[in-house]
Structure 1
Amino acid sequence: MNNKDSRQPRLQLKYFFAAVEQMADDVIITGKDGIIEYVNPAFEQTTGYAKEEVLGKTPRILKSGHHHAGFYRNLWETILAGKTFKHVIANKKKNGELYYADQAITPLKDTRGEITHFVSVWKDVTEHVRYREELEALNKSLRFEKQKFEQILDFEERIGTFADLNKLADFVVNGIAGILEVERCSLMLLDEKTGELVIKGAVGLDHKIIRENRSSLGEGVAGLVAKERKPLLVEVIDTDERVGRENLPSYRTKSFLSVPVMLDHKLLGVVNVTDKKSPGPEVFTDFDLNILLAIVRQAAVAIENAELYKELKYLTVTDPLTNLYNYRHFMRTLEYEIGRFHRFGDALSLLIMDIDDFKEYNGAHGAARGDEILKEIGDILSDQLREVDIICRYASDEFAAILPATDVAQVKTIARKIGEAVSRLDPEGKITASFGLASCHKGMSRHDFILKADAALTHAKRHGKNQIYCQDKTDAG
């Protein structure tokens, strides 16, 4: 053998060692007994351990406690059988920080086929794992929100069947208790003769309290909400300065919601909920509050149609601030237009528009300026849409338009013009709007139509705001 041939294996070994030393992936080599004999610099950088701290020890120093004994038993059974074990493993750095390694452990064999060492190579995939966990949590949240929204729409469809106020009140409190998963709920209505709030329906309250409880405006939590006509979310009653009292011993938890029942700026009553029983924290959140506000808005419309509020049916169908149609008229007209669509087959589209970050804008510029913006947006909608279109103030900072004989591609063009006009309302460009569009299809109910447009609006809000989105891509062209 010449000198060149004898040097070849040594050169190959030299290059192999240099490659392992410079690899971005972490490498550990252990004996068959699991004792660490080699780690590369990438390992030191990832784990925070110096080479001298781990040589002679086992990889158990990286053990995080996130895997059960069966996991490690399967690992050893695999590699001792001469096979490669691959898995994403949760390990722990020297400083205690958790990281995830996409790891492959391969047995090394001698010329007789006997295992002598194990080589473990891995990539740090912590960011990828955390991203997936966040994505899964978001998907779970979206599924939960979708489920709640569908429950609300189902509630809205059924609530219109009650003409008797007593039956309506029972339906409302039971519906709220089920959707929000609470043990206690009460609906208090304003007695216009005495100016007091009286309990009309309740879940989880003593019958004596239901019969005898009356609250004046400004008195107690419900009275305070009725007087100020603003919703109240209390996380811990003992420390909330707005309430100013300790929790009553009959209540299991210290968090509650109280919301005024309003119809065209007229106070009808108050809804109260407490003792949350759903999994997780027993503290109400803004999400819970928004659900309750959506339900109460529907309840207000239903109360209008009930026996004790028949006189309200002659009230105007317009919103006094924007001079657009109100929510009640929107719901009735949408039902009518869907009926016409199913009879005649002409195109029918729905636009729901939300002012982006309007709550923050109101807080920064004041309610008076906020009302001016709402009025100006009402004017923009009236200017951009036709007389045949039904334009409504759908919620505090949301607007909706029903567009007969119009497909979504046309509505998208209209929405773009509206969005451009809205953005010019504020010199600093802080007013923008997001749009959800939907077209009506055969067999679609009012429930389905609203759900489709609202889902499109939610997508627009979640993907940067100041967006126009249609749930059905083929509709938008």
Structure 2
Amino acid sequence: MALILSDAMLRTAIEQSFNAVVVTTSQLELPGPQIVYVNQAFCNMTGYTAEELMGKTPRILQGPRTDPETIERLRRCLNAGEYFIGNTVNYRKDGECYYVEWNITPIRDGQGRITHFVSVQRDLTEKKKVENDRNLMANALEANSDQVLMTDREGHIVYVNRAFEDQTGYRREEIIGQTPSLLRSGHHDHAFYDEMWHTLASGQPFRATFVNRAKDGSEFHLEQTVTPVRDDFGEITHYMSTGKDISDRVRMEQTLRRMATIDLLTGLPNRSFGEQLLEREWHRQARYQEGLSLIMADIDHFKSINDEHGHDAGDQVLAQVGKQLQALVRRTDSAIRWGGEEFLILVPRANLEQAIELAERIRLGIRCQHHPGVGRVTMSFGVACYQPDDSRKSLLRRADQTLYAAKEAGRDRVMASPDTD
């Protein structure tokens, strides 16, 4: 059975509606339509009482920020007797502006003539504020110099900012839908990622320095924080990653570390770092008993080179000898600038005979090299092999004493230490 609504029931329904309702006359000529009815929601939205609004034109709600193009579209629709929907800025009684959506319908009589317009309106201010806040956040993310990346719960990328594009070389359209594994450089093992996902699953942010690979294959260091994002029900729906590119800082630290451990002239480990390398090999020998030999080497007549050709020429000889030593030793060996024109070569997993053979190969290689402005140079070598009763100091002393013996014997030769100190 159909429900027949009385005028009173309709009026009550409109009056109690959450949406603002205003009814005007159909007069479009100046001064324009006049308000003949407003509901309480309209009064609440505008700050005016019904008495203050009766007989007024809705134009009293317009102001400087009211969009003239929207008003012009409204005028054309009303003149054509058409339905209109649009939104703009209106002003409350106290002068505060608000965003409003209009839905305006012409009301016709039995002869089809428009007698009134009814407008159902919604206050969009809060919605607009949310949109503005969202846009502000999006603009802030775009302007951020740090990389920002967001994935869904399954790990598929749904957003990256401009800094991400600039630093990785990937455009947004080619990275959306991919997973961050596209950036993996191979520097992190499974345990690293297991720890990350375990931390995120517990609801905690994960912080670490990532070494990632850009689209062009170059690697960069990122000080990165990955944070779970929850919905209103507390469920994790996304993961937000923010990262600061610290590649320059890492390179600087590596440079400083290199300067602290590497002899800048020869490119070889300096004595301080060399002592650490010797300690490492010493402990390895103690554990695995695979053999350890030392070769102490010295450039013959180096003082004469400096005196006759100048210190610049001497430095060039040192630099060239350093390069040759790096090229002539085995991959497992370490050539160290021990001081002045003296070098120490650590030869792990080698007996005395093997170390002598290496020293002889180095001697011949050095002897064949021509140095511009200086000519050929020679080196003397003292070789000592680890013995059970050796200490690091005694092994070094035997190598040094054997080098001294080689120089005393005429230089440009390899001599081996006796088995005991």
| TM-score, normalization by structure 2 | 0.40
Of Structure 1 and Structure 2, the greater helix share is in 1
The higher radius of gyration belongs to 2
